[in-house]
Structures are given as C-alpha cells and as structure tokens.
Amino acid sequence: MPSNNINLNEWRERAIAFEGALNSVVLGLDKQVRALTIAIFSRGHVLLEGDVGVGKTTLLRAAARLLGGEYQRIEGAIDLMPSDFLYHAYLDQNGQPAVAPGPLLQHEEALAVFFFNEINRARPQAHSLLLRLMAERSVNAFNRDYHFPHLTVFADRNRLEREETFELPAAARDRFFMEISIDAPNDRELQRDLMFNQRFHNVDALINTLQAGLVPYAELNAVAETIQGNVRAELPLQDYAVNLWRALRNPAEAGVEFDDIDSSKLVAGGASPRGMAMLMRAARCRAWLENRDYLTPDDIRAVFHDTVSHRVFFSPAYELRRETLAPRLLNSVIDKVSA
C-alpha cells in the first residue's frame, strides 16, 4: 500500500537530480535517460540494446552508483551456466575443494543492482535462472530460497554481432519492463565533445564523480507504489488505453493497414495483460515526473515503444523483419487509435 510518509514532491526533485546526473556522464541520450528513470521509479528491469561502444554499460554503471547498495555483474558467455550465478568451486589454501557464493548470493537482501553484460551471449539455461530472478526477485540454492526485495536487473546486448549469440526467449523478454535502444549521438558538437573532452575517456573516473546513493534503493518499492496510487486514470483515458491494446493484438480488425504486409497475419501473440499493466505503470510514473496526478494520452505515447515493442511477437514470415516492423506497427496503432 502507498505510504503516507512519502513526500512525492521531494522524491520528484530527487528523480530529476538522478536524470541530470546520468545526463552528465552520457551525452545525447536524454530520451533514453528519461526512459531508464521511469523504469527504475516503476521498479522494473531494463534491457539496453545498441551498437558497440555507444555508452550502454556506462549508463547502467552510472545508474547503479546513483542507486547505492550492493552491485554485482556477470559477463555473458557461451559456456555460462546457471550455477555460475550462484557459486563457484575452488581449491582452498590447503588444497581442499571449497565452494564460495557466486555474484547473486554474496550480498543477499542488500543486493540492489545485478548487471548482466552481453546477455545474448549466454545460453538459454542461463536465461531460465534469470527469468525467476526477474519475476520473483528470488532464486533457490543450497536447499533454501534467497530473496532480493530491492533488486533491479540491468542487461545489455549489442545488435551487431550474431555469431555465438542466442535470442532471448519470449518469456524472458516480457519480464523486462523496458527495452531501450541506444544510438551514438548525431549532433556534431556532442560528437566533438565525446572525441576530445578527456573527461569522457576514463569511464571509472567519470562514474566516481557521481554521488553514490543519490536515490536510496531500499526506499524505491514504497515510493513506486505511492506514485502508482497517486496518479489517476479517468474513464476516457482507460478506454483509449484498452483500444490501443486491442489494436496491437488484432491490427486488421482495428483498421491498421500496410502496403507490403498482410496485417491479419502479422501478429502471432504478445501484448499480454502483464505487459499492458507495465505500460500503465510507466505512464503513471511519467505523469508524476511531469508534475501531474492524472494521466493523459501523451503519457502513454511517451512510453509506448519502450514498454511494448519487445512484447509483440510476429508470425514466422515476419519475425525476421522485427527491427523495422515493430516500430511501424506501433506507430500505425498510435496513429489509428483516436484519443
């Protein structure tokens, strides 16, 4: 239940400061930083996708520092197994076999951020453990359950390399609150700054300039629920959101048409009730950041792509063209459905 002791105005100022701090270490990513902020204050997990070297890891490491708490990271690899998250075996100083906690279990409930780098390099076995971790914020090891009530999972993948990579299963993708695309800045002055300002050349030093724990991670659960309970959705807005959902699931019936695509055979599934509920959580958080206690269609449109695109699954004839078809479908649905 929302807490009466939480001052949402003070927390909004803290969220804006969080955004400003992130924008000080990555340039030209204002939209992506806003999306990441919404996901964090909605208590959702985040997947970043983009080319190599565009700042995905820097952005996630910076967010982890600003949240404070314990931080762990694991690198995706083709031989990574679920056990590698939980423990590692070694020979102790006496030459005897020993077991030490892995990255997930070292800090137990104090773990605030778990970062899965290059997630698409890991096999489906590793993704299966991640699925429970994101869904329940818990894992089972050594005959007991470990709980991580304040955990946020960050992951990234680059979209260039396809060899020795594995596509995330639909269930795992659906557990990510947002899937955010990161591109290099196109502004000439920003490009000049990134090339010649030495401040951006040492990532460790850059991140260490940020205030650790600017947003206390252990309070976010209560803050997020207070935000959700404080932002209302009037009936016409609810009708608009439902109409968007229906158009996503059956574009042809909603009158969404394409010159080169049979819209009646385009969508195989997705846009689940869970996914649409996450869309509304994101929209409410966006309204709060805009200093409103009510939703508008603009709040939904602002988070629509990042929260929904990865949750719509196309029929086999079209799935290979996902990168271009998903934005077209979502844009067409927004254009077609009247607010």
Nearest to 47 by CA among 170, 184, 153: 153
pLDDT of residue 5: 86
Per-residue HEC secondary structure of the chain comes to CCCCCCCHHHHHHHHHHHHHHHHHHCCCCHHHHHHHHHHHHCCCCEEEEECCCCCHHHHHHHHHHHHCCEEEEEECCCCCCCHHHHEEEEECCCCCEEEEECCCCCCHHHEEEEEEECHHHCCHHHHHHHHHHHHHCEEEECCEEEECCCCEEEEEEECCCCCCCCCCCHHHHHHCCEEEEECCCCCHHHHHHHHHCHHHCCHHHHHHCCCCCCCCHHHHHHHHHHHHHHCECCHHHHHHHHHHHHHHHCCCCCCCCCCCCCHHHCEEEECCHHHHHHHHHHHHHHHHHCCCCECCHHHHHHHHHHHHHHHEEECHHHHCCHHHHHHHHHHHHHHHCCC
Name residue 297's amino acid: P
Residue-wise pLDDT for 290-319, tens only, equals: 999 999 999 999 999 999 999 998 998 898
Answer yes or no: same fold for 8-224 and 231-336. Answer: no
Paired residues of 215 in beta bridges: none
Residues of the chain with pLDDT under 50: 1-2
pLDDT of residue 163: 67
Token output for 63: 């967010």
Q: Which fold has domain 8-224?
A: Rossmann fold (3.40.50)
Q: Which fold has domain 231-336?
A: Helicase, Ruva Protein; domain 3 (1.10.8)
pLDDT of residue 14: 96
Instruction: Give residues with Cβ within 8 angstroms of 222, minimum separation 6.
Output: 2, 3, 6
Token output for 218: 């252990």
Cβ 269 vs Cβ 321: under 8 Å: no
Residue-wise pLDDT for 238-294, tens only, equals: 999 999 999 999 999 999 999 888 888 999 887 889 999 999 999 999 999 999 999
Token output for 68: 């404070």
Instruction: Give residues with Cβ within 8 angstroms of 36, minimum separation 6.
Output: 22, 46, 59, 63, 178, 180
Degrees, nearest 5: CA angle 111-116-121: 160
pLDDT of residue 1: 44
pLDDT of residue 153: 95
Domain extents in the chain: 8-224, 231-336
